[in-house]
Amino acid sequence: MDLNYTPEERAFREQVRAFVHSKLPSEIGRKVLEHKRLTKEDQVRWQKILFDKGWIAPGWPVEHGGTGWNAVQMHIFDEECADAGAPPVMPFGVKMVGPVIIAFGSPWQKQHYLPRILSSEDWWCQGYSEPGAGSDLASLKTRAELRGDHYVVNGQKTWNTLGQYADMIFCLVRTSSTGKKQDGISFLLIDMRTAGVTVRPIITLEGEHEVNEVWFDNVEVPVQNLVGEEGRGWTYAKFLLSHERTGIAGVSRSKRELRFLKHIATQEQKDGRPLLQDPRFADKVARLEIDLMALEITDLRVASAEREGRAPGPEASILKIKGTEIQQSLTELMMEAVGPYALPFLPESWGDHWLGERIGPEYAGPLAARYFNHRKVTIYGGSNEIQRNIIAQQILGL
């Protein structure tokens, strides 16, 4: 295994870097680097720039609009985008439902939905979790009853991310109650503008409207929006989650955030000297950096295996566990560094001012919100406890 970049890969990095620095709108990059709120328009604007370049869906097959890049090239692309402050592409369309449609969808679904995902014409959201069906997702109760050429859907989804903006939602629904719980689940594509769909906000700890409840009251969904076969939704759901988890580690973004943490620690003072010179704080930063270096090497090993034609195995669970723990540690150390200046965490602090005037350094305002928001990262996409079970069973043989 060779973890060194080839001359071709180094040339590719320069190509990506030049594109991102010339095409990324400066105001969007500044928002990302300063941890300020991105609007839907910000996200879509950058995604359309990538779409025009043909780089919106690197992981897709070329015949469906992908780039043909290998895993190492995608890693380089992620690094350069993160370093410049480019927003990550919203995952629900490109990285989650898109691959499911490519693998299991009908010819009509591929022809209709894939181009709309690539162009950002459709904004997608996810309908998996329900009250009482989170980690035990197979216990979901939202029902879909076949009536003629439509399914009629009734039920509730929760922890739905950014559904207030969405045009479409991909949903797991129960179409049968016989046999194993998993055998009665199907995968539906539902237009959020259909009569009977109601989105209700859930305001999270940091004061943000990021997640929602979604209610379905006799919602009619055409049969042609069933993905694959009825009753095989659990198989498609697991396939989708494997794609979701590959990006959760966020190595490139964590490297950028580590640099930001060091910047804060050189600005903040303790006993008349930069905080980074305090032995106890410097030790915490060093331990975190070592963990991140080890995570990056593991990530590159997975990418190297794919470059050599070997599919990544359950070691992807290691990436998810360590990646999310590192993300949480970064937010904790940033909070520790700025101290009381992190207290104002109302949504107003995500803008340029809080209550009309700045409180402490400008970079401190959004940090508490980021801390609270990142409490979730070890849970979604399969909790870290579940990932440890996967490692125990598939790697350790326990």
Q: Which helix (H) or strand (E) holds 301?
A: helix 279-307
Q: Which helix (H) or strand (E) holds 9?
A: helix 7-23
The C-alpha atoms of residue 239 and residue 236 are separated, in whole angstroms, by 5
- Among the listed residues 79, 230, 244, 296, the single catalytic one is 244
- Maximum separation of any 2 CA atoms in the chain, in Å: 75
Residues listed for the chain:
398
| 59 close to 65: Cβ distance less than 8 angstroms | no
The C-alpha atoms of residue 299 and residue 303 are separated, in whole angstroms, by 6
Strand 185-191 vs strand 168-174: parallel, antiparallel, or unpaired?
Answer: antiparallel
Measure the CA angle with vertex 16, ends 117 and 123; round to 5°: 15
Is 244 labeled as catalytic in the residue annotation? Answer: yes
What torsion, rounded to 10 degrees, do the Cα atoms 10, 11, 15, 21 define? 40
| 320 close to 249: Cβ distance less than 8 angstroms | yes
Tell me the DSSP string of 164-215.
GG-SEEEEEEE---SSSGGGGEEEEEEETTSTTEEEEEEE-TTS-EEEEEEE
Q: Which two tokens stand for residue 123?
A: 């904004």
The C-alpha atoms of residue 381 and residue 322 are separated, in whole angstroms, by 14
Catalytic residue list: 244
